[in-house]
Structure formats: C-alpha cells, structure tokens
Amino acid sequence: MTAQAKAGWMHRNLMLLLMMYLLLPLLATGLYAFAKDWQDSLLPDRWTFEWFGGMFRDIRFLDALWTSFYLCLISVTLSLVIMLPAVFVITIYLPRWESFMKGVVVLPYAVPGVVAAVGLIRTYSSGPIDIAGTAYLLIGAYFIAILPYMYQGIRNSLLTVSAVELLSAAELLGAHRMRAFVTVILPNIWPGVIVSTLLSFSVLFGEFVLTNMLVGGHIQTIQIYLVQRMNESGHLASAIAISYFVFILLLSMVLMKLGKRMNGGVRG
C-alpha cells in the first residue's frame, strides 16, 4: 500500500493523540526528575538539577549501575562465544536441524520469566550444583533470555551474505575451513552480529523478573535498585528512570544506524 503524500486531518489527529498517549508518561517522568517540587499545577513551579546530582553521588546507585553493566557484558560475551560457532555449524552443516532449533529458540518467548525462574530455582537450589542466588545462575538465565535475539541475528546475517556459497568459493580457492571462516565469513557477518549483541545488551539491561526472583536479595542491578528507591524518593527515582531511558535510547539509535549501514552495505 503506497502512502499518500499527505495524510488526511483525521489520520493526523489520530497519530497526534497516539503519540501524546505514548509520550505522556515519559514526559511526566522527565519533568518530575527536574522538578524541585510538583504538586497541584500543570507544570512544576521550580526546577532543579539536585536529583541528578544526588544520583551520581549515590554510591549504591553507582554500584548497581556497575553491577548491571558487567553482568550484561559477561552474559552477552558468553552468548557470543557460544552461539557464533553453534549457529554457524547448524546453519551451514546441519540445515535439517533448523526447524528443531526454531522450536528451542522460540521457547524463551513462550515461557514467561516467572516460570523460567521457578524452574531454575528448583533445579539449582539443592542437589549437586548449588548455585542458587549467585551470579552464575543469573548469567545462565540471561543466556537463555537473549537466545532468540542472538540466534536469529547470527542466522540472518549468515543467510544474508549467503555464507554457504562464500565458504564453497573460498574452499575451492584453496582456503582451509577455519581460514575461510575467519577471512570471508566473520568480516561479513560482523555488523549483523554487533546489532544483535547490542540489542541483547539493552534487553538484559531492562531485565527485572529473573533478576528479582533469582538473586533479588543478593545482587542489586539498576532495575532492582529503582524499585527500592521508588518508595523512598520519587524525584530521585525518576532521575534514575530517565537516565536509564536515555541510555537505552542512545543504544537503540546506534543500533538503528548500524542496521541501516549493514543493509545498505550488503545490498549495495
């Protein structure tokens, strides 16, 4: 369906309404973060930066930020290291397994976080591997949570560059398999892989249910800290929320740029 050059007034108003509806909560959080106090008026009376200042002086916040950051980084890196060869092998050499893989990969979508957490706790709170409440368990859970993004991302990159043919061509020109993988497959799928890695990172950064249920009492990520702070200081919490949002926004902008460049590059 081709869009008309100019949309009718009805559609314009409709979209305006929708955008207002969608942006209002964001806007409110933003204003609240900068408001000295805000009560019974349409807009705050006085503005301040003190909440943001307080946020950066708050050791616990910085700790939580750091914890979130390195937990996500470790999980994403681990996922990359494990998934890259696995998806490569499956896509190139075991295409028959692909439909089975699709099922495996869809499971984390179909099984809600609460359910996954119950299973994980049951499995690892007793018995031979007692890692309940530790970061190991959380990283394992995170790995599964981002499985769909990583699998799809890597697989699609491989298909877009028609990896099978590139590999055949390289082998006929005398390259060993490993050499061919490193010289012609990896450089070509890299942009796509980066995109899914960043996406996974942003998903994990916003993760709450697994974190809260698996390690809630022991490890404080940014989301856990936010919930705690919500009941203490609203203004501070909104400063945190808005900073978090801006961070995710920047990340997704980078993502979009990368995605566009990759599509442009491959299609030419």
Tell which one of 141, 158, 194, 236 touches other proteins (CB under 8 A): 141
Q: Contact with other proteins (CB under 8 A): which of 9, 39, 128, 232?
A: 39
**Per-residue mark of binding to other proteins, 198-227 (x: CB under 8 A):** -x--xx--xxxxxxxxxxxxx----x--xx
Residue 58, exposed/middle/buried by CB under 10 A (0-12, 13-18, 19+)? middle
Q: Of 54, 74, 234, 254, which lies in the binding site for other proteins, with binding defined by CB under 8 A?
A: 234
CB of 216 to other proteins, least distance (A): 6
Sign, CA torsion 258/262/265/268: negative
Interface of this chain with other proteins, residues 76 to 135, rule: CB under 8 A: 82-83, 85-86, 88-90, 93, 104, 106-123, 125, 132-133
Answer for which of 249, 250, 257, 261 binds other proteins (CB under 8 A) is 249
> Where does the chain have alpha helices with state H?
9-34, 50-57, 59-93, 98-110, 113-124, 135-145, 147-160, 163-172, 177-180, 186-205, 209-215, 222-230, 234-267
Closest CB 249 distance from other proteins, rounded Å:
6
Restricting to residues 144-203, which ones interact with other proteins according to CB under 8 A? 144, 147-149, 152-153, 156, 159, 161-162, 165-166, 168-176, 179, 183-184, 187-188, 199, 202-203
- How far apart CA 117 and CA 155 sit, in angstroms, is 27
Tell me the residue type at 121: I
Between residues 50 and 130, which has the closer beta carbon with respect to other proteins?
130
Burial of 21 (0-12, 13-18, 19+ CB in 10 A): exposed
Q: How far is CA 87 from CA 10, 28, 82, 150, in A?
A: 47, 43, 9, 9
Q: How many residues bind other proteins (CB under 8 A)?
A: 121
**Residue 173 to residues 91, 159, 180, 186, Cα–Cα distance (Å):** 22, 21, 10, 18
Q: Which residue type, as a one-letter code, is found at position 265?
A: G
**Phi-psi sector, 37: left (phi>0), alpha (psi -120 to 50), beta:** beta
Window contacting other proteins (CB under 8 A); options: 48-56, 63-71, 140-148:
140-148
Per CB under 8 A, the list member of 74, 80, 248, 254 interacting with other proteins is 248
Using CB under 8 A as the binding rule, the residues of this chain from 40 to 69 that contact other proteins are: 40-42
Q: Minimum distance between the CB of residue 170 and other proteins, rounded to whole angstroms?
A: 7
Does 73 contact other proteins by CB under 8 A? Answer: no
Give the nearest distance from C-beta 119 to other proteins in angstroms: 3
